[in-house]
Chain A
């Protein structure tokens, strides 16, 4: 009753209107001009990344700021790419909170070029065309839309190898020479055999392999066609390559070769230093990750050898500029510089991220890494990069992969039968694609 009466009271209504007005005014004042554009043309460029791109570690931001005194660079990053992608998508949909430069993983680039080309800046407008010859053909074309827009400049690629702990190998009585190992594990079966040998004499609490998720990941990276075919159709269910990678991973789990860790989890991170596993499939960008997690104490204990079963590529990234970015022109200058051969070579020296620029690859051909027992990483990853297949990319690549590795974890950690897990994976993929 009092409420009904209130509705008739003009004063109350007026009060509400006044309040709403005040609220709206308060919201409006938020859109003041950007504070970072201070006097003298100073610009703060924001860079939002995931994992470790290694720009900061290689001192590239400092160098760029010295070359361009009016520019300040602020980087933020998320460790897990899936988390990063979620927040990027939310901000793209809302149109706010976007950085001037956003990193994009190669597993997502098809989603960008096919679904969101209107949300990213066409870099050709800033003259990106002239850079085309500088990049590997596949790297360039993956970031180009059907109508010819270029939506990202490539940073690195992910040629694959195998990282291993020489100290643990010694304790288990295995050879530690990278050439000898490469011969012994020239096939995946050889790799599993060696694992069984390791298991017999290995130190307690130490497994052969970190997780079958990373084994699956690196094996699938050796394939040209994975989840989608060139026409964009989802084919993972009938693709024999997926089946082979799946079965080998299951075999490794059943033989008890894995430390049963979940990639990117805190436990996984702790295990790098603790010696919970002796080998880990290593795309080039993993080198930096190993260094970060295993720390100083791991120096000289690790080594890198050729990957069993041939060359492959896992991952690699792009730098893109969202349409809603504040300083597009300055951002373009920055990413052009960051992805230039000289800078890519520096990142590789420091962090191991393998360059996507052809000029840089030539520069680092004889690079060695003291952290990894002086392994000739320039040559190992260089060969892998040359030989690895050009992959067919699909819109949901990353999500399909996530569902398959989740299901594999069930086999690994819960002892679920392979067939049951495969059904789970299919259900999961259907749920993702919706």
Chain B
């Protein structure tokens, strides 16, 4: 029974497609029995049934928390006395604008984001370009590149915290050999942000490199051959063949990295084990500030407001990213 029905489904794709006529619903054909009608209904409905688990889970664990967070953000709620909610309206949001620590963490999120994303993507691009050549043990190297990504944030960060230690850290020891004074990686604003960024860079460069590599492999080989015949060096080939061909991939990684950078949390939290992001909030990101408000000080309403501000921020950033990408593409096409 079923083999025949699937065989029938094959040559008649138009029926389930969006172009099917409005009258073609179940049971309209005069010769169709009830079994065929059921089958046709199922054929139309089944895609929705298959995607239903995702949307059910999304409703329960995505949309509901999102809306509930919005609701909570309008109240004063303390974790210790979470039963007593006091209406605050938008006061949780307006308070953020006058909150120095909010602005500091916003600035930190931005600077750490730039410090980690820009070198990370640049290095990933170079790495992918190299990996794209015929190398001995290519599969091994490609797998190795992905290893940092497979490491847990906690483990990686703890190792880095040791490396960046002021008194007994390896990095200070090494720069001491060339006569540089030890750097207090935890305390200085720039130093601590560089340290935190380096963890992010270490973890994500390989991941992005593999995405770029996949993108590069879809660029037709003939383009490189033609460029080579025209006498273009490998560098020129990279600039004029690889980069334009990779544009959609680059846009994708920029968007993903932007979202990641805005939500940065684990690395700064574990770097020193401080929920304040250091003694003067010097590397506290928005994610960490939200955590400090919610689970350090137990101000759930305020934490919820920060969560929503972050959400809006991400939506805006991604929108801007997409807009720039589309503009460029249009300009490119017009040339």
Contact = CB atoms under 8 A, between A and B. Distances in A.
Contact of A11 (B45, B279, B296): B45
A413 B184 contact: yes
Given A2-B18, A90-B79, A80 B273 contact: yes
Interface stretch (A38-46, A259-267, A359-367): A259-267
B187 A413 contact: yes
A48 interface: no
Nearest to A86: B295
B308 interface: no
Contacts of A431: 99, 101, 297
A111 B80 contact: yes
Nearest to A270: B168
B48 A15 contact: yes
Interface in A188-244: 205
B138 to A, nearest CB: 39
Interface stretch (A16-24, A295-303, A308-316, A380-388): A16-24
A115 interface: yes
Given A266-B165, A409-B279, A93 B49 contact: no
A255 interface: no
Interface string B291-333: 0000111110010000000000000000000000000000000
B167 A271 contact: yes
B237 interface: no
Contacts of A11: 41-42, 45, 49
B142 interface: no
Interface string A1-25: 1100010010110011001100100
Given A20-B56, A267-B167, A86 B296 contact: yes
Contact of A267 (B48, B165, B297): B165
A176 to B, nearest CB: 25
Contacts of A52: none
B126 to A, nearest CB: 34
Nearest to A431: B101
Interface in B230-262: none
Contacts of B53: 19
B191 to A, nearest CB: 11
Interface string A264-292: 11110011001010000000000000000
Nearest to A24: B60
B302 A266 contact: no
A414 interface: yes
Nearest to B168: A270
A9 B44 contact: yes
A424 interface: yes
Contacts of A15: 45, 48-49, 52
A410 B295 contact: no
Given A266-B162, A427-B100, A116 B168 contact: no
Contacts of B41: 9, 11
Chain A CB within 10 Å, residue with most, of B55, B165, B187, B275: B187
Contacts of B81: 115-116
A363 B299 CA distance: 45
Nearest to A261: B167
B56 A399 contact: no
Contacts of B295: 86, 89-90
B134 to A, nearest CB: 45
Contact of A16 (B52, B162, B276, B298): B52
B151 interface: no
B18 A274 contact: no
Interface string B149-191: 0000000000001100111100000000000000010110000
B167 A270 contact: yes
Contacts of B186: 262, 267
A434 interface: yes
B280 A410 contact: yes
B18 A1 contact: yes
A24 to B, nearest CB: 10
Contacts of A20: 56
A409 B302 CA distance: 27
Contacts of B100: 427
Nearest to A413: B187
Contacts of B217: none
Interface string A422-434: 0010010001101
Contacts of A90: 79, 295
A90 B82 CA distance: 10
Interface in B68-127: 78-82, 99-101
B115 to A, nearest CB: 20
Contact of A414 (B49, B55, B280): B280
A2 B44 CA distance: 10
Contacts of B15: none
Given A9-B44, A262-B272, A406-B279, A432 B52 contact: no
B42 to A, nearest CB: 7
A267 B168 contact: yes
A89 B82 CA distance: 11
Nearest to A408: B279
B92 to A, nearest CB: 10
A4 to B, nearest CB: 12
Contacts of B56: 16, 19-20, 23
A416 B188 CA distance: 12
A274 B168 contact: yes
A290 B55 CA distance: 54
Interface in A60-88: 80, 82-83, 86
B48 A424 contact: no
A262 B279 contact: yes
B302 to A, nearest CB: 7
Chain A CB within 10 Å, residue with most, of B52, B78, B81, B166: B52
Chain B CB within 10 Å, residue with most, of A92, A413, A424: A413
Contacts of A264: 273
Contacts of A1: 18
Interface string B266-299: 0000001111100110000000000000011111
A111 B80 CA distance: 9
B187 A89 contact: no
A93 B82 contact: yes
Interface of B: 18, 41-42, 44-45, 48-49, 52-53, 55-56, 60, 78-82, 99-101, 161-162, 165-168, 184, 186-187, 272-276, 279-280, 295-299, 302
Q: Which 7 pairs of residues, A with B, have the shortest CB-CB distance?
A: A15-B49, A12-B48, A409-B279, A11-B45, A413-B187, A434-B299, A6-B48
Given A92-B80, A431-B101, 18 more contacts: A6-B48, A9-B45, A23-B60, A86-B296, A89-B79, A90-B79, A90-B295, A262-B186, A262-B274, A266-B162, A267-B165, A267-B186, A270-B165, A407-B279, A410-B279, A413-B187, A424-B280, A432-B297
